[in-house]
Chains A and B, each alone.
Chain A
Amino acid sequence: MELSEQNVKKQRPVHLDLQTIRFPAAAIASILHRITGVIMLFAVGILLWLLNASLQSAESFNHLQSLLDSFVMKFILWGILTALGYHLLGGLRHLVMDTGRWEELASGKASAKAVFVLAIVFSVLAGVWVW
């Protein structure tokens, strides 16, 4: 029997307790980056519609501003800004990682958490701005 087969057939502990399994911070950072990216692909459609209406005439610009008084429009705008902020910060983290930094377990975890904090701060600021 080969050594590799022995290793595979060895009885190994199985850990599938869903109550205690947690995504590490870097994994959450990764999936959020993907989700916010897909959200913004749809958001650009809304933003282009807003851009078109805002540039057509002074009347349509003013009409748009009155539309932005509604809670739904404010919420959508805030959501887009929040997704943008997270995706931008996560992207900057990736660019730093491209240079070979923040690639270790501790630094990767710390930078992911830093991105979460900064994204929340930006999201709150965006909320204050929109409302």
Chain B
Amino acid sequence: MVTNAASFGRSGVHDFIMLRASAVILASYAVFLVVFAAVSSPLTYDVWHGLFTALPMKVFTLLALIALLIHAWIGVWQVLTDYVKNVSLRGVLQFVFVVTAFAYLAAGILIVWGV
């Protein structure tokens, strides 16, 4: 039974698993990018551009943005349900944050598409 329409998953267990699964993807992506930038310092356009022409990197980037959508959705839900007691305001804020995360995904698809 759906008890809360604003949460990401259909149950607390689903949210619990999805939050951690998305966290693992986001952590891998963040560590990879920081290490890559640190190792290839000073970073040149050719090296940076070359990285993002590779299909696996495009897929990895989009995976990270999908994981971000899920992770942010659940995280924002947890924060808002704790601090914002007014239901209408909470609904509006949840909407704004989830739409923002969707916009990030759309922007990410368009950015890596043409590289």
Contacts and interface: CB of A to CB of B under 8 A. Distances in A.
B20 A95 contact: yes
A55 B38 CA distance: 18
Q: Is the interface of A mostly helix, strand, loop or mixed?
A: helix
A45 B45 CA distance: 21
Interface residues of A, number: 22
A41 B111 contact: no
Contacts, number: 54
Interface footprint category on B: 20 to 34
A51 interface: yes
Nearest to B79: A34
Q: Is the interface of B mostly helix, strand, loop or mixed?
A: helix
A44 B45 contact: no
B79 A91 contact: no
Nearest to A33: B75
B102 to A, nearest CB: 12
B29 to A, nearest CB: 11
Interface of B: 20, 23, 27, 30-31, 34, 38, 41, 45, 48-49, 52, 68, 72, 75-76, 78-79, 97, 100-101, 104, 107-108, 111-112, 115
